[in-house]
């Protein structure tokens, strides 16, 4: 098949991990006979430096015309002055809003070979398989903001329609998994959370086959550490989802491992690892590319409908996590390129096996 992919490497380790993910997509294209074209555009601090804008109009237009968008990370100390008039993160938020990608899927699994890296005891980590569905285009991130010399506000606003579409997506996804949705809110305090919870309760009636559980976010932060293997799909609002998924990454062993897919109504999606620009290791060639590579696998699955290719990439990553090489954040000594090359080789082996099977 033909597909046009826009890449937004961004800042810090963003270009390093995006290059690895693009290499994987190129190998997939070559081995499975697809024609993927790539167009690299600016976002974040790199775009501010080049044009003054965190999301230049040309970059946005390219993303809107693409089949899928693959992003690295934005931000870093250079642009982090709290009084700066423009910030890299604004570009990412504007992109998510413009693409209408309201459902951010963040899958979490704990690979047995990495369980010892987690601060949790191994028995707690057995069979952890959670799909976080984070609302991505509403809440405090997008509410009205004010700032004066002595005060600031960030409005948190949700409409029923915004809650309903992401919650329905979570229920649909649960049907293809273990039929269990946990909705996380702060309904004991926040009005937006009470709207959220009553919407979930109404929608749940349309999915009698799916078990529904409600948790308050403070308690959920604790439960994720004490019984992470009792969750299937976890749906929550934008800010809670941001925080809980970084916490969840500690269970997997490193923030560098987790991918994400941001989806709206159509097939076009935005794919990015959940980590940031990692300024502490940027430019040293040691960033773990697996979160970005697994994001490319999600791109193959959700935007291009290439399930076999997505599975081949995931199996290749599984093999590398099992046998190495491992980057530093997961206890090894390998650099980004060495991990990338091991994944590329394993993808090739997957393709050979598939070809042999069909002969
Ligand atoms: P971060 O995710 O960049 O880093 C947190 C820690 O995780 C650091 O110690 C870092 O070295 C490590 N880490 C992250 N990715 C890694 C990888 N691939 N391999 C190995 N180790 C990795 O979070 P931060 O330091 O709080 O934020 C830095 C900047 O990134 C901020 O400007 C923030 O706004 C931005 N950010 C961007 C995104 C995004 O673009 N999607 C996401 C999160 C943070
Ligand atoms: C993420 C990041 C972003 C967010 C920032 C960089 C805007 O932390 O993708 O998790 O908070 O959504
Ligand atoms: Mn985050």
Rounded Cα distance between 276 and 12, Å, is 8
In a domain, 299, yes or no: yes
Q: Does any ligand 2 atom lie closer than 6 A to the CB of residue 247?
A: no
User: Do 196 and 184 meet the contact criterion of CB atoms below 8 Å apart?
Assistant: no
Q: Which pLDDT does position 115 carry in this prediction?
A: 86
Residue 75 alpha carbon, nearest atom of ligand 1: 32
Query: Residue 202 pLDDT more than 70?
Result: yes
- Model confidence pLDDT, tens digit, residues 215-252: 999 999 999 999 999 999 999 999 999 999 999 999 99
Nearest residue (CA) to ligand 1, atom 32? 75
Residue nearest to atom 9 of ligand 2 (CA): 274
Same domain, 235 and 161: yes
Q: Which atom of ligand 2 is nearest to the CA of 74?
A: 6
CATH code of the domain in which 207 resides = 3.40.718.10
Ligand 2 proximity of 75 Cβ (cutoff 6 Å): yes
User: Is the C-beta atom of 89 inside 6 A of ligand 2?
Assistant: yes
Let me know whether 10 and 53 are in one domain. Answer: yes
Contacts of 294 (CB under 8 A, 6+ apart): 257, 258, 259, 273, 313, 314, 317
CA of 238 to the centre of ligand 2 (A): 9
**The ligand 2 atom nearest the CA atom of 136:** 12
| Length of the chain as a residue count | 359
* Residue 355: inside a domain: yes
Q: Which of 208, 237, 252 marks a domain boundary? A: 252
- Cα(205) to centroid(ligand 3), Å: 32
- The DSSP 8-state label assigned to residue 34 in this structure reads -
Model confidence at 357: pLDDT above 80: no
Q: How far is the CA of 242 from the centre of ligand 2 (A)?
A: 7
CA of 246 to the centre of ligand 1 (A): 10
**Is 50 within a domain?**
yes
174, 210 contact by CB (below 8 A): yes
C-alpha angle 142-145-150 in degrees, rounded to nearest 5: 155
Ligand 1 site, residue 228, Cβ cutoff 6 A: no
Residues spanned by the domain of 138: 119-252
Q: Which of 51, 46, 5 is nearest to 28 (CA)?
A: 5
Point out the catalytic residue in the list 141, 158, 207, 231: 141
- Name the pLDDT band for 358 (thresholds 50, 70, 90): low
For residues 60-94, one letter each, b for 16 or more C-beta atoms within 10 angstroms of the residue's C-beta and e for the rest, the string is: bebbeebbbbbbbbbbbeebeeeeeeebbbebbbb
Domain co-membership, 223 together with 291:
no
- What's the rounded Cα separation, in Å, for the pair 261 and 272? 7
Distance CA 40, CA 59 (A): 9
If asked whether residues 95 and 11 sit together in one domain, one would say yes
CA 91/CA 79 separation, integer angstroms = 12
pLDDT tens-digit map of 125-143 = 999 999 999 999 999 999 9
Token pair 């081949």 is at which residue?
312
Nearest atom in ligand 2 to 89's CA:
7
Are 321 and 293 a contacting pair, CB within 8 Å?
no
Which of 252, 285, 318 is at the close of a domain? Answer: 252
Name the E strands within the chain.
2-10, 35-40, 68-73, 103-109, 129-135, 145-147, 152-154, 180-185, 211-216, 233-236, 261-263, 269-271
Residue 64 lies in a domain: yes
Separation of 93 CA from ligand 2 center, angstroms?
8
Phi then psi for residue 191, to 5 deg, are -65, -40
Question: What is the rounded radius of gyration, in angstroms, for the C-alpha atoms of the chain?
Answer: 20
DSSP 8-state code for residue 121? -
Ligand located closest to 292 CA: 1
Taking the C-alpha atoms of residue 71 and residue 250, their distance in angstroms, rounded to an integer, is 22
User: Taking 90 as the threshold, does the pLDDT of residue 359 lie above it?
Assistant: no
57 and 133 fall within a common domain: no
Q: Verify whether residue 218 is a known catalytic residue.
A: yes
32: CA distance to ligand 2 center in Å?
33
Are 172 and 244 in the same domain? yes
Q: Is the CB of 73 under 6 A from ligand 1?
A: yes
Q: At what angle do helices 88-99 and 44-51 cross, to 10 degrees?
A: 110
Out of 252, 274, 304, a domain closes at 252
SS3 347: helix
Query: With the C-alpha atoms ordered 30, 36, 42, 44, is the resulting torsion angle positive or negative?
Result: negative
- Nearest ligand to residue 134 Cα: 2
What is the average per-residue pLDDT within 24-34? Answer: 98
Query: Is-catalytic flag, 141?
Result: yes
9 token code pair? 């490497």
The predicted structure's pLDDT at residue 18: 98
Q: Give the residue carrying structure tokens 């870093």.
A: 76
Residues 6+ apart with CB under 8 A from 355: none
ipTM for this prediction: 0.98
Total domains present in the chain: 2
The answer to whether residues 221 and 278 belong to one domain is: no
Kindly indicate the confidence band of residue 341, based on its pLDDT and cuts at 50, 70 and 90.
very high
Is position 186 annotated as part of the catalytic site? Answer: yes
Ligand 2 touching residue 135 (CB < 6 A): no
Please work out whether the CB of residue 95 comes within 6 Å of at least one atom of ligand 1: no
């Amino acid at each position: 098949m033909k597909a046009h992919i826009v890449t937004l490497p961004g800042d810090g380790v963003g270009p390093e991990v995006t290059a690895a993910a693009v290499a994987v997509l190129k190998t997939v294209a070559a081995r499975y006979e697809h024609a993927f074209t790539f167009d690299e555009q600016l976002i974040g601090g790199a775009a501010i430096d080049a044009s003054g804008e965190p999301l230049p109009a040309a970059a946005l237009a390219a993303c809107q015309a693409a089949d899928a968008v693959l992003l690295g990370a934005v931000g870093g100390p250079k642009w982090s002055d709290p009084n700066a008039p423009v910030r890299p993160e604004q570009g990412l938020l504007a992109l998510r809003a413009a693409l209408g990608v309201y459902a951010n899927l963040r899958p979490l699994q704990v690979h047995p070979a990495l369980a010892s890296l987690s601060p949790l005891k191994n028995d707690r980590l057995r069979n952890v398989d959670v799909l976080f569905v984070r609302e991505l285009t509403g809440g405090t991130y997008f509410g009205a903001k004010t700032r004066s010399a002595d005060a600031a506000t960030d409005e948190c606003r949700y409409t029923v329609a915004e809650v309903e579409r992401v919650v329905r997506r979570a229920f649909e996804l649960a049907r293809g998994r273990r039929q269990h949705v946990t909705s996380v809110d702060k309904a004991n305090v926040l009005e937006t959370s009470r709207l959220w919870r009553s919407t979930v309760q109404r929608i749940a009636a349309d999915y009698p086959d799916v078990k529904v559980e409600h948790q308050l976010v403070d308690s959920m932060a604790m439960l994720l550490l004490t019984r992470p293997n009792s969750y299937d799909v976890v749906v929550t609002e934008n800010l809670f989802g941001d925080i809980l998924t970084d916490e969840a990454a500690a269970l997997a062993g490193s923030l560098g491992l987790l991918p994400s897919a941001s989806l709206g109504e159509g097939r076009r999606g935005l794919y990015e690892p959940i980590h940031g620009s990692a300024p502490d290791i940027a430019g040293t060639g040691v960033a773990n590319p697996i979160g970005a590579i697994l994001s490319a696998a999600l791109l193959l699955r959700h935007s291009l409908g290439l399930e076999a290719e997505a599975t081949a990439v995931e199996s290749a990553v599984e093999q590398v996590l099992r046998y190495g090489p491992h980057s530093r954040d997961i206890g090894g000594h390998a650099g980004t390129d060495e991990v990338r090359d091991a994944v590329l080789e394993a993808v090739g082996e997957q393709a050979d096996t598939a070809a042999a099977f069909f002969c």
